[in-house]
Amino acid sequence: MTGEEYKERIDAALAESFLSALDLPLAGLADSMRYSLLAGGKRIRPILVLEFCRICGGSVDEAMPIACAIEMLHTYSLIHDDLPCMDNDTLRRGRPTNHIVYGECTATLAGDALQAEAFGTILRASLSAERRANCAACLADAVGLDGMCGGQYLDMLGEGKQLTEEQLDNINSRKTGALLIAACRMGVAAAGGSEKQMEAAARYGAAIGAAFQIRDDMLDVISTEAELGKPIGSDAQEKKNTYMALYGEERCAAMVNKLTRQAKDVLRGAFADTAFLDQLAESMAVRKS
């Protein structure tokens, strides 16, 4: 299956989310949730879930709720990142951010509800109880105190300070990398894969996660608002700690290339079919948005 075919199937499954609430008094909250969930995007995390499940011998159809769940969780994080109390962004994926359209209170609740629905979606999947529990544990580990939320907190503490590479890595491995690692591990868990496959998946996720963040920092400088779908130059304006600020474009590009090679290498020996994941890592290294 191609990346575009994966994306089409994921988008179709996500479009069915929360439809039952649209005619109820809760319609406004459901609209807000769907506004961000269905706003497009590359769907990298759910694609990783499905592909790792496939190459471990699992069912892509049965793993689809797991893929949808991680996209719900990711969408919650984007809504909250954009809030005035966080990054205070007004544009996301080429559209006004959630709080600009629905107000800060509804946007906050939409993010909260998406987080809860992510775990509910996993627990209602048709996988065995053990596989559902393992998927939920992978996601919980990635987004809590020692994961995405902890990374966001460390990022906030670092504002206005000059951080070292080690400190920046510590933030981004949680803020960005943890959820990409979880996506890979959840795919293996959904298929009932081996410990060797789980470890290789985690190492792949860590490598592409680091490369993703460095490339993100680069795009905030070298891309355009039209390509990126959100304002550019905001990192420098807000004096954020970034890899571009530390190293510049040339060294950042070399780091992305090295991490991409590492991501491909760690798959060898654990999986028989790595062509799709190899290509995905390479495409992420040169992405424009």
Q: Which fold has domain 3-285?
A: Farnesyl Diphosphate Synthase (1.10.600)
Which residues have a Cβ under 8 Å from the Cβ of 84 and sit 6 or more positions away? 99, 104
pLDDT tens track, the chain, 289 positions? 899 999 999 999 999 998 878 878 899 999 999 999 999 889 999 999 999 999 999 999 999 999 999 999 999 999 999 999 998 999 998 899 999 999 999 999 999 999 999 999 999 999 999 999 999 999 999 999 999 999 999 999 998 888 998 999 999 999 999 999 999 999 999 999 999 999 999 999 999 999 999 999 999 888 777 766 666 656 656 667 899 989 999 999 999 999 999 999 999 999 999 999 999 999 999 998 8
- The C-alpha atoms of residue 53 and residue 138 are separated, in whole angstroms, by 14
- Residue-level pLDDT at 233: 59
Contacts of 239 (CB under 8 A, 6+ apart): 159, 160
Q: Three-state DSSP class for 231?
A: coil
pLDDT score of 223 = 77
- Residue 22's pLDDT is 80
Measured in whole angstroms, the distance separating CA 176 from the mean position of its chain's CA atoms is 7
88: left (phi over 0), alpha (psi -120 to 50) or beta: left
**Number of CB atoms found within 10 A of residue 22's CB:** 12
Token code pair at residue 84: 């005035």
* Number of CB atoms found within 10 A of residue 162's CB: 10
What does the pLDDT read at residue 197? 98
Place of tokens 């609430």: 21
What does pTM read for this prediction?
A: 0.94
Query: Within a 13 Å sphere around the CA of 144, how many CA atoms are in the beta-carbon half?
Result: 9
